[in-house]
Amino acid sequence: MGIDHPDDDNAPTVDRDLRQVGGDSPGFERERPGEHGLVPEQDSATDLEAARAAYIVDFPAKVGAAYRAVWDEAVPALQAARSEHEARYPLPERSRPTQGEDGSWHAEGRLDLDPGQNAEVTKKYAEIREQAQDEILPAMRRVEAADSERQLAGLEHWLKGEDRLKEKIAAYLRAPGVTVAQAFEMVPDAVRFTFVHSHERYAEGVRADVDWLKAEGFEQVKLKKLWTGDQYKGINTQWSSPETGLRFEVQFHTSESLEAKELTHWAYERLRLLDSRITPAERDDLETYQRRVNSLIATPPGIDVIDEAQENER
């Protein structure tokens, strides 16, 4: 996702208890029924209840707007922190993967495919692209079109790059006895999509999307709620196509959690690519940076309505 990190007291913070939102949070004036004239005097108990009901309906949107303001205010400092880190820890120049005259494939980190393995991975990659274009991508567009409140984001990255996939396959093949076919089964995100919902409608939207994906005939393999972590926020799911057996990933984000993921991706990549070569000091800086970013992302209301039993259907 080194950084000259400010102390926690200096970093913008967000109180995720909606009953406590407000106070010192930038851009959010504390509002409650009966305070600051939010619920004016009413002529009758019925009018008062109606006003309170309207407030409750509108409150999630107010909270979402408040967190958006906090996030927007924090982003420039987070971008500057990245620049400071990259200046302190210059990234070694990374060579691109190469293919030998014999058809073998080689990447940094002793990631290698022999000619037969490379040919098999190349063929399988083309098959995945074709299957996804014919079946999964059109289905994702239908799900998106079913509700104007949701949107697909980052469609230009729906297919993992071929060299990045080969790196993953080569890493799995290091284990004794693992075949290329088995290695592909360990990669659930060669095809991946992201749905974005508003903060206030996120939980409702995820449940609807899951139902739509099942209606499209896909089988849910896994659902993982990651909103309690400090390095990443969102819900990640895995699916499979009964027709082709192709597995793919669908992530669910708010606009802020997606921006946080994108803002921390460079740190994630450095942690992944440098691995054992990274110093403990830089690793600590990168993880602290990811915590700092994700501390600003509010958990959407109603997340508990996403059934825990859905997390491991198979």
**What sign for the dihedral angle of Cα 256, 259, 263, 268?**
positive
- List the domain range (segments joined by +) for residue 218: 103-312
In a domain, residue 23? The reply is no
In a domain, residue 172? The reply is yes
* Residues 188-207, mean pLDDT to the nearest whole number: 94
Cα three-residue angle 92-165-130, rounded to 5 degrees: 145
Cβ atoms of 139 and 218 within 8 Å: the answer is yes
In a domain, residue 245? The reply is yes
The Cα 58–Cα 46 span in angstroms is 19
In a domain, residue 74? The reply is no
Cβ atoms of 296 and 12 within 8 Å: the answer is yes
Q: Tell me if residue 73 falls in helix, strand or coil.
A: helix
In a domain, residue 31? The reply is no
Cβ atoms of 172 and 213 within 8 Å: the answer is no
Q: Which long-range contacts does 181-184 make (Cβ < 8 Å, 24+ apart)?
A: 184/124
The residues, ordered by sequence, that sit 6+ positions from 4 with a Cβ below 8 Å of its Cβ are: 81, 84, 88
Short-list 227, 251, 199, 256, CA closest to 12: 256
pLDDT number for residue 109: 79
Q: Is 37 exposed, middle or buried (0-12, 13-18, 19+ CB in 10 A)?
A: exposed
In a domain, residue 53? The reply is no
Q: For the segment 212-247, what is each residue's pLDDT rounded down to a tens digit?
A: 999 999 999 999 999 999 999 999 999 999 888 899
* Residues 20-25, mean pLDDT to the nearest whole number: 35
pLDDT number for residue 276: 67
* Percentage above 90 pLDDT, the chain: 62
Q: For the segment 136-160, what is each residue's pLDDT rounded down to a tens digit?
A: 999 999 999 998 889 999 999 999 9
Q: Is the pLDDT of residue 34 over 70?
A: no
* Residues 104-114, mean pLDDT to the nearest whole number: 92
- Which residues on adjacent β-strands are paired with residue 153? 194
The Cα 125–Cα 137 span in angstroms is 16
Cβ atoms of 211 and 275 within 8 Å: the answer is no
pLDDT number for residue 92: 73
Q: Is the pLDDT of residue 31 over 80?
A: no
Under the phi-then-psi rule, with left for phi > 0, alpha for psi from -120 to 50, and beta for the rest, what region is 263?
Answer: alpha
Report residue 61's pLDDT band, with 50, 70 and 90 as the boundaries.
Answer: low
Residue indicated by tokens 């099942």: 214
- What phi and psi values does residue 298 have, to the nearest 5 degrees? -85, 140
Q: Is the pLDDT of residue 63 over 90?
A: no
The Cα 201–Cα 301 span in angstroms is 8
Chain centre to alpha carbon of residue 102: 39
In a domain, residue 62? The reply is no
In a domain, residue 60? The reply is no
Highest mean pLDDT (candidates 71-75, 108-112, 288-292) = 288-292
Number of domains in the chain: 1
The Cα 302–Cα 299 span in angstroms is 9
- Two tokens at 253? 């984000």
Instruction: Residue 178: give its domain's CATH number.
Output: 3.30.460.10
Side chain identity at residue 32, one-letter code:
R
**What sign for the dihedral angle of Cα 168, 183, 181, 133?**
negative
